[in-house]
Structure 1
């Protein structure tokens, strides 16, 4: 075959080769995107110190918000069933079973502290800066293995005034007598809606924080919706 004829033959074969590689004839791997995402999630990721602090805030928010929601639900149920007498023993969300479970998952310990506590064991010397609006978060790394989280506890539910409002106005004398009987050194009255009553303080282990960061940043493949 002459040298002049060879390029001509190649030119004729080019459309045939391109047709053989049409996109609609390419065989795609089934669930390829899902497999790729799974492999990416399984890959060991480097977690930076700033990532751990961010995860500490996420974990602290998750734990304390869950505790606040559980407390509101329980208190509403108990107050409706038997008033302050029935609700008083349950105003301790840090002792709820669901919170204990979440603490174990996060390797954390949560406590509520106040300068004017109901329970003297929760007494803490707090500054005005500690009691800024609920958007305030304080996270820190105390050591290579220990992180801390703190945020204010604001009185945002009018139901709480039945135990923590003004005596004689929000709290009846009978209910206040019950409170003083259970907590003789009680200081947790006289609050108003929107006022900060204390703080959540959470201590977390590095392994729990790192695992929470991994879970939060893990990609999730959303199932495709059928076309018809």
Structure 2
């Protein structure tokens, strides 16, 4: 009798704590996550390119430091989600990756080394929060500030970056490299 009650209780716990997506929900969150990541990239990129055209890296780098988080905050409000860019190679110590974000980054790096496709990941955590992760790959215009010194990153731009981000290690990339991940947590 006690064994049957224990088994029944265990089944109830498993069903009540089911943190999985149906196929339909998974596709919904992948689609929404892609939309948010693309809108976020486009907004950040367009504003940074505007700053680059107006004043080059001397204007764009401080603008990025002061405004990227604000821009993502505004988009977070618009999409009712928390939008974050995360990387294992940081420019600012204020945006350190979570343990889970690092696991996702390392998973993507492994897939790259195996020459496999990088697909978005959606999951539900123990608090029933829904998360979306997608790779951020370096584009050609990103190399001005994230490229290789004396190739796509000038000494002058590197000096500007180092004066604003003294502990920067977010350089040395080539076009197509994995820069990090979009980490989006949906509020509902």
- Is residue 168 of structure 1 aligned with residue 150 of structure 2? yes
Match of 1:146 among 110, 116, 129: 129
- Is residue 72 of structure 1 aligned with residue 45 of structure 2? yes
Match of 2:174 among 189, 192, 196: 192
Q: CA deviation at 1:145?
A: 4.2
1:21-100 matches, within 5 Å, as: 49-91=22-64, 93-96=68-71, 99-100=72-73
For normalisation by structure 2, the TM-score amounts to 0.73
Q: Helix, strand or coil for the counterpart of 1:166? A: coil
Q: Helix, strand or coil for the counterpart of 2:54? A: helix
**Pair 50,105 (structure 1): closer, same or farther in 2 beyond 3 Å:** farther
**Structure 1, gaps ≥5 residues long:** 1-47, 207-228
In the alignment, what sits opposite 1:137? Answer: 120
**Pair 130,95 (structure 1): closer, same or farther in 2 beyond 3 Å:** farther
Any conservation in 2 of the 1:67–1:94 contact (CA below 8 Å)?
Answer: no
C-alpha distance in 1 between matches for 2:128 and 2:79: 13
For normalisation by structure 1, the TM-score amounts to 0.61
| RMSD between aligned residues | 2.3
Larger radius of gyration: 1
